[in-house]
Structures are given as structure tokens and as C-alpha cells.
Structure 1
Amino acid sequence: MKAVILAGGMGTRLKEYTKDIPKPLITINERPILEYQIENLKNYGIKDILIIVGYLGFKIKEYFGDGKNFGVNIEYFEENQPLGTAGALYYLKNTFTEDFILIYGDIIFDIDVYKFIDFHKANGGIGTLIVHPNNHPYDSDILIVDENQLVKGIAKKNEKRNFFYNNCVNAGIFIFKKDLIDYVLKDKKQDLEKDVVLNLIGKEEIYAYRTTEYIKDMGTPERYELVKKHMESGFIKSRNLSSKQKAIFLDRDGTINKYVGLVYNPDQLIIEDDVIEALKLLNSSEYISIVITNQPIIARNLCTINQLEEIHRKMETILGEQGCYLDDIFYCPHHPDSGFPDENKIFKIHCDCRKPAIGLIEKAVGKYNIDLSKSFFIGDTTVDIQTGKNANLKTILLATGEGGKDNKYMVKPDFYAENLSKAINSILENNFEEVMV
């Protein structure tokens, strides 16, 4: 598989760093952004790289040459006129005989490319793009993705949103079949997402690969300074899914949103007061955040799957508007006991995903390569604590929600905390005495 890197941008918002160099040559630890990209590709056997250059492109050529000094083979395509993020691909029709990776040249990333390729091949669409949540979805294009990870639409950032949405943002890394180039027009400036990918979404040919790995653009001086800190600390490399990940598993009702009994309508969902602060801390830490929740409202026929997901969309929208996010949400729709009025018998079963069973945790482990011995389960009930114990996780019981008064299991947590914010602080500071209640 070959890789294409779009490295023709001027980086106008970073002009203090790009006065005499193209944006992809901005350095971190005295190495250009582009070099980190090439190194990640090389680590996964992708050594044939084509770089599309434009503004001050000769400087990229001077630095990398044919790529031999970097252990790769580099070719170049130079735009004589700006063709956007897609236009130059028209002239590469004869370059590819198979699928290719395409990367925006202004992002820093460290990803397990093998997992990305496997996902793409398993789904078989013309294109797959990497998606993730971010802390500013309100000013980002949001992807509408179904339960099969098929992209159904794009909610553009400059359009008013009068609906709830999942925090699902394109990260700027793609895999395409060579057929994609058939949708690119000759000698016309085109935007890859808005002019090409959007048309393929309508044909149900684009899939979304969700990952917690580190992928950030360098669009502003603030983001550039943040990425520098993350690179220097080793944080970027640690998030590659080839490495074991640390996770904090979170209950939902009584932990993230206020406990009001069964929540089966979005209007019932109210975020706990301390949660925004807690998730902001968690998002900038070495831990990924995953919700594990029982939702018997489906089995009891109080709402549909889509209505439950609308509740989750509201939760993600509120969190995103406040500058934080959850990495993933796993829920169990089942309930083993019959006898409820109008119950949905399809979901009235015994399963391995309803807490305190650990099926959902095992699913998350498989998806994100989680080291349970270095992870936590936080919740407000003895069911949550028993779930954590069953999975050999360290456990924290919160005083919010039911505060452990459900009394369903005779089990003690490893630690107690007044609220989620204090629990997260205790984990990050490795100091649990301050949050004992």
C-alpha cells in the first residue's frame, strides 16, 4: 500500500512559524511534522510515499530528497496552481494499483496502521476515514454514522444545529480504493471532503474508523504548543493502540448524569455538576474514558434503541459544548426478568453484557487494547463495584446518585469519592486519602 501526503498548505494561521517554510516543515523537537508522519508509516511497512507539494514545496524536496535517508521511497507531485485537497489526485490515476492511505500534512499522529487497514478491508467501501471525538465539536464538521460505522451524512460546522449529535469528527487520515480518483475532476480546485467524499457518502461507500489514538492538527499556535508538550512527554506514542491502554470505565446514571430513576427521554438527562471538570482532566490524561451502562428501558419497552441513542447524543452534545468528551459508550439493552407491562420480549434474556457481567468491558478491551490491571471502574452502585471486581479493576464508589445504597451486592469498593471530579483527581495524582468519605 502506498501513502499520499497533502503537504501544499501555506499555514496562514501559523504564520509566525511559516514565514519561510511550508507548514509541514514546522518542527517539534527539531524534527518536522512531516518526518513524524513518515516515520509512523514506515513503522507499519508503508515505504512508498507520494507527497503533494505546493507553497515552498522545494524546501520539502530539499529536506527529504528521495527518502532513502529516512528508510522510505518518496516521489513528489507539484501543483502549478492550488487544486484544493482533492484536485491533484486526478493526475495520480496511473500511480495506484491498489488501495492507498491519504494524510493531511499538518497533523501529528501515532496510530496502529494495521488495525486501520484491517477495518477498511473488512467493510469494503471505497473509503474509510478515521474519526474521533474532540473538545470543540461545535465548530467542527460532525459525521453522522450508523451502528455499522457507515457514514450517512455530514453536519457542517457553519450550519446551525438544532439537533443533538454524536461527537464524531474527521481526523484527517483516510484509506481509499483507487476508484476514488474517478470522482475527481480534471483541472478543478476541489475539497476532498465536501466535493468528493460527500458524494460517496450518498452512495453508502464511506465508513468511519473510531479510535482513541493521538491525532491532532496544527491549525493554531495554541494547538501547536499543546502538541509540543504531548510529544515531549511521550503521551503521543503511548496512545498508539499497539500499546496497552489505561482506561477509566464509568457508569452513566448517577455518575455522569443525575440519578432520576430510569431515563427514557432526553429531557430527563441532566449532567452532574462536577462532571465537566472531571472529563476535561480525563481527556488530557493518559486514560481513555468509556461508559459502561445497563439500560433496561429497551427491554421494558419504555423507549426504542434510537431513542436511547438520542439520549446519548444529547449527552455528547452537552459535553462537547463545554469542551470535553467521552471516548466511547457501551450499553446493555437487556433485562432478564419478565412481568413488566408492554415489555419487549426480544430483550428479556440473560446475557453476558448486563452488569455485573463483564461482556461490555471485554468488548472495550478488544477494541482498545486495554490493560485492566492499570484501569478503574467508577460508579454509584454496588452493581458497578461488583462489575469492577469481576473484571479485576480497581473500583471507586461515588457519593452521587444512589451512593451505594442500592445494596444489591455485599461488596466494598477499593476507594470512595464524593463525586467524579474528586475521583479523577485522586487517580491522576495517585492520592486517594483526600477523597475518602
Structure 2
Amino acid sequence: MKTVIMAGGKGTRIQSIAADIPKPMIPIDGIPVLEREIISLRDQGFKDIIITVSHLGSIIMDYFGDGSKIGVNIEYYNEETPLGNAGALFKLKDQLTEPFLLLNGDAIFDIDFKRFVSFHYSCGGKVTLFTHPNNHPYDSGLIIADKEGMVEAWLAKEDDRPQYYRNRVNAGLHVIDPSILNGIDTDKVGKVDEKTGKVFKVDLDRQLLKPLAGTGQMFCYDSPEYVKDMGTPERFHQVENDYMEGRVQSKNLSNKQKAVFLDRDGTINVYKDFLTDIDDFELIPGVADAIKKINALGYLAIVITNQPVIARGEISWDQLEEIHNKMETELGKEGAYLDGIYFCPHHPHKGYDGEIVELKIECDCRKPKPGMILKASKDFNVDLSQSYMLGDSENDIKAGIAAGCKSILLNGLGSNYTNGEYGQLDTLESINLFVDKYLK
């Protein structure tokens, strides 16, 4: 599979770091960002690379040459006239005859590309976006998708958005079928429009990708792996620090992950019996700060919650999703995010008015059984022995122990159900105490 890396931007926002070299050539620990990208691709078997260059492009071409010195094959497209961030793809159209990776040259990432590509082929769509949660979804573009990951809407920062939304942001990594390039006349790209007098350019998001939302041709690949652009001095220094601390490399899903599994009701939000009204959802004071620390320390933050209200017919699937969207939105406003939400909709006891009969079963996912934790562990390649289960009930602790986690009981109940050195924490804000005491 070919990889196209767009490395032609001027990087005006980061000129205080390096004004005399292209942004992708700014070094992290002595090695240019672009070289780190290429090495990551090479080590996973992606060695056929096209780099689009423009501003100070000769520096990139002189540094890498044909790529043979680092074990890859590199070709270049020198964009002498700016064509927009996707115009070069039309100039390369004859070379892009099969699905290809499209990456930004100014991002730091370390992801399992084979897993990403495999997901793309399994979906059967034209485009797959690499998506992830971030700590500022309120001012980021959002991707809205169905349960299978099919993109339903693409909301730019300036677009109206729903009151509550899932924290799912496009990270700028794509698998693209070249057939999506057929919608624009290649001959127009780079030519002066007679009516406007302007050069015809192509915007990747606005003209090529966003129109695919809702067509069934574009999917999102959700992953907690590390992808950050370094477009400003502040972001560059954050990325540099993350790299030096090992957080960039460790988040690759080919490596075993550490996770903090979190019960929902009574752990993240104030316990209000069986919560069915979205207006009753209220974050426990301080919980967002604790989850933000979990994020910063490199642990996955994954919710594991029993929701028998579905089986009992007291709430619909869509209503539960909206409650979870509120949870993600409220956390996101405070700079925290969740990497996954797993819920059990089943309930073993029959006899409720309006119950959903097919969900009234004995299942493997309802806590105290460990099914949800085990499913999340498989999805995210989690080392359960280095992970924690936090909850405010005996069933949370039993599920964690059964899965092989270190289990911590919050809010001072049921201490007989803890294991080893791990015990109970006795206040409503105990998730913060847990972070300060146990995580490193």
C-alpha cells in the first residue's frame, strides 16, 4: 500500500520554533518529525512513500533523497503553485490506483497501521478516518457515526453541534480509495478560473471527505493511540515532552496497555438509583480532574457499567446513548476524556411492564461477571494485571477480581470484597484519592 504524506505547509504558527526549515523537519529528540513518521511506517512494512512538498521543500528532498538510506522508496511531488491541501492528489492520480494511506507530515503519531488498514477493508467503505477523543472537543471538529462506525455527519468547528455529543475527533490519518477523486475534474486543479481569476484548489475535508458523510462510504476507526499535531509552539512542547516521557510509543496498540476501568453510577456521576432521565445525570465534583490525570498518566479510561434499565424497558437505546454523550460532553468541557464505554443491557429477572424479553437473560457481561472488562481488554490489548477496576459496589469489585485487575472499592462499602493490598477509599471524591495514591 502506498503512503502519501502531505508536507507542504508553511507552518506560520510555529515559526518561533524554527522559521528556516519546513515544519515537518522540526526535530524531536534530535530526529525530524517527518523522519519519525517514515520510520514508523517502514517498521510496519509501509515502504512505498510519496511526499508532497512546497515551502522550503528542497530541504526535505535533500535530507531524505530517494529514501534508500532509511530503507524506503520515496518519490516527491513539488507543489510550485499552492493547490489546497488535497490538490496534489489529483496530480498524483495516475500513481494512486489502489487504496492508500494519507497522512499529515507535521504530526507525531505511533499507531498500529496494519490494524487500521485491516479495519478499513473489513468495512468495505471508500474512506476510513482515524478518530480519537481529545481534551478539547468543544473547539474541535466532530465526527458523528453509528454503532458500526459509519460516519453520519462531519461537524466542523464552526458548524452547529448538538447539545451533547460523543468525543470523537478526526486525527488527520486516513485510508482512502482513489475512486473518491473522480468527483472533481483533474484538469481544473491548479488552473486559473476564468470567472473568479483564482487558482482552482481542493480542500480535503470540505470538498472530498465531508460530502461522504451519510452515504455509507466513510467509516471511522476509533483508537486511543497517540496522534497529535504540533502546529503551535505550545503543542510542540507538549508533544516533545510526551515523546521524552515515552507516552507516544507506549500508546501503540501493538503494545500492552494499562487501563483504569470505571463504574459509572456512583463513581463518575452522582448515584440516583436507576438513572433514566438525562437531567438527573450529574458529574461527581472533582471526577473530571481525576480522569484528566488518568489520561495524562497514559492509562486508558474505560467505563464498565450495568444498565438493566434497557432490558426493563425503562429507557431506550437512544436515550442511554444520549446520557453517555452528556457524560462525554461534560468531561470534555473540563479537559478529560474516556477511551471507551461498555455497558450491559441485560437483566435476568422477568416480570416488568414494558420489558424487552430477549434481553431478560443470564449473560456473561453483567457485573459481577467480568465479560465487559474482558471484551475491553481484547479490544484495547490491555494488561489486566497492571490495570484497575474502580467502583462503589461489591459487584464492581467481584468483576474486577474475576478479570484479574487490581480492584478498588470507592465510597467505603463492602471492604470484604477487595483483594491483596488494595482496599477501600471512603469519600465521594475517592477517585481523586485513588489517582494520587496508586497511579504513577
**Aligning the two structures, in what range does the TM-score lie when normalised by the shorter sequence?**
over 0.9
Greater mean alpha carbon deviation, residues 265-274 or residues 158-167: 158-167
Shift in Å, 1:21:
1.1
What displacement does 1:184 show?
4.1
Displacement, 1:89?
A: 0.7
Distance 2:413 2:343 in 1: 20
2:361 is the alignment partner of 1:349: yes
Counterpart Cα distance in 2 of 1:159 and 1:201: 14
Residues 385-394 or 337-346, more deviating: 337-346
Give me the whole-angstrom Cα distance separating, in 2, the residues matched to 1:53 and 1:202: 33
State the secondary structure of the residue aligned to 1:273. coil
The answer on 1:426 being equivalent to 2:437 is: yes
Structure-1 residue corresponding to 2:77: 77
Determine the structure 1 residue equivalent to 2:27: 27
Aligned mates of 1:303, 1:5 — CA distance in 2:
46
Is 1:404 aligned to 2:413, yes or no? yes
Deviations, residues 265-302 of structure 1 (Å, cap 9, x unaligned): 21010000020110110111121110000001101111
Please point out which of 255, 274, 286 is paired with 1:274.
Answer: 286
Query: C-alpha deviations, 1:349-373, integer Å up to 9, x for none?
Result: 1111111111111211111100011
Q: 2:333 aligns with which of 321, 329, 332?
A: 321
Distance 1:162 1:367, change over 3 A: closer
Query: C-alpha distance in 2, partners of 1:422/1:149?
Result: 36
Conserved 8 A contact 2:388-2:400 = yes
Match of 1:63, as an amino acid? Y
Q: Is the 8 A contact 1:245 1:287 kept in 2?
A: yes
Task: Give the TM-score, by structure 2 length.
Answer: 0.94
| Structure 2 alignment gaps of length 5 or more | 190-199
Code of the residue aligned with 1:196 in structure 2: it is: L
What is the CA deviation profile of residues 9-68 of structure 1, one whole-angstrom value per residue up to 9, with x for unaligned ones?
Answer: 111110112311111111111111100100110011010100011111111101111101
Quote the Cα distance in structure 2 between the aligned partners of 1:185 and 1:24: 30
Mapped to 1, the partners of 2:161 and 2:130 lie a distance apart of 23
Aligned partner of 1:415 in structure 2 is: 423
Deviation, 1:340, is 1.7
Confirm or deny that 1:333 pairs with 2:342: no
- The answer on 1:168 being equivalent to 2:176 is no
Contact 1:87 1:184 in 2 (8 A): no
Q: 2-side partners of 1:9 and 1:238: how far apart?
A: 29
Q: Distance in 1 between matches of 2:134 and 2:184?
A: 29
Which residue matches 2:193?
Answer: none
1:433 equivalent in structure 2: none
| Cα distance, 1:172 vs structure 2 | 0.8
CA distance in 1, matches of 2:81, 2:436: 52
Structure 1 counterpart of 2:396, which letter? Answer: D
**Conservation of the 8 A alpha-carbon contact between 1:134 and 1:167:** yes
Deviates more, 1:84-93 or 1:136-145: 84-93
Matched, 1:378 2:390: yes
User: 2 CA distance for matches of 1:10 and 1:345?
Assistant: 60
Identity, % of aligned positions: 46
- CA separation in 2, counterparts of 1:422 and 1:219? 35
Q: Distance in 2 between matches of 1:280 and 1:148?
A: 28
Q: Structure 1, residues 323-347: CA drift from partner, whole Å, max 9, x if none?
A: 1101110001110100122212121
Distance 2:185 2:232 in 1: 31
1:223-238 equivalences in 2 (<5 Å):
223-238=235-250
Confirm whether residue 248 of structure 1 aligns to residue 254 of structure 2. Answer: no
* More off after superposition, 78-87 vs 134-143: 78-87
CA displacement, residues 133-184 of structure 1 (integer Å, 9 cap, x when unaligned): 0000011000001100101101221134352100000011000112122134
Matching residue's letter, 1:141 = G
Conserved? CA contact 2:408–2:418, under 8 Å: no
Indicate conservation of the 8 Å contact 1:89/1:184, yes or no: no
